[in-house]
Chains A and B, each alone.
Chain A
Amino acid sequence: GQQLNQSPQSMFIQEGEDVSMNCTSSSIFNTWLWYKQDPGEGPVLLIALYKAGELTSNGRLTAQFGITRKDSFLNISASIPSDVGIYFCAGLVSGNTPLVFGKGTRLSVIA
């Protein structure tokens, strides 16, 4: 089946630093989504991307839909302690099909 390669698997950063993570795929997706999951909670949608080349921001978060439709990245600027959690990328082929998830990036922020 389809798989997404998400990297890095984990990262430890100082508060205030910028963070970058990305996902790549061997196949094309028509929608890319980025989620954050806190321990014991369900994933929360951060950013949705619908067009190849699209660059979208949500506060300190910026994500881009790769021009080939096979990759996406998420940047977090000026990290703060509450950014700690697991970030998942997810790809969607079409409307009501299941999401394909990356394996997640575990972010730790050191104050």
Chain B
Amino acid sequence: GAVVSQHPSRVICKSGTSVKIECRSLDFQATTMFWYRQFPKQSLMLMATSNEGSKATYEQGVEKDKFLINHASLTLSTLTVTSAHPEDSSFYICSALSRARSYEQYFGPGTRLTVT
């Protein structure tokens, strides 16, 4: 199956610092990637849709200046959490859309962010 990687898998940072999370599609091109946030024992919550070469589309209630998304190539999208606060601690998961596979979405393994 299609492979999506995320880096780092877990990160601990101090309050006020910024953290960048990378999402890569390893064996297919992804013109669209999605970023999700997941709280314990809950479903995935869509944060934004990232399209290669254009600005991301953010869901209602998600601050675009706080969660910066860059989709610079067909295989890489990055999410930067700026000026992180403890309430930003969460599990962040990306998914990549494969047009070659009938628009199936493949998920990365997730990034556990802890802000102290």
Contacts and interface: CB of A to CB of B under 8 A. Distances in A.
B8 interface: no
Interface stretch (B13-21, B38-46, B62-70, B71-79): B38-46
B9 to A, nearest CB: 9
Contacts of B104: 33, 45, 48
Contacts of B110: 40-42
Interface residues of A, number: 23
A45 B44 contact: no
B93 interface: yes
Interface stretch (A14-22, A64-72, A75-83, A92-100): A92-100
The B interface, classified by DSSP as helix, strand, loop or mixed, is strand
Contact of B107 (A40, A43, A102, A103): A43
A42 B109 contact: yes
A96 B112 contact: no
B102 A48 contact: yes
B106 A45 contact: yes
Interface in B1-27: 1, 4, 6
13 contacts: A31-B102, A41-B109, A42-B93, A42-B109, A43-B107, A48-B104, A90-B105, A92-B103, A96-B97, A96-B103, A99-B46, A103-B43, A106-B41
Interface of B: 1, 4, 6, 31-32, 34, 41-44, 46, 49, 51, 91, 93, 95, 97, 99, 102-110, 112
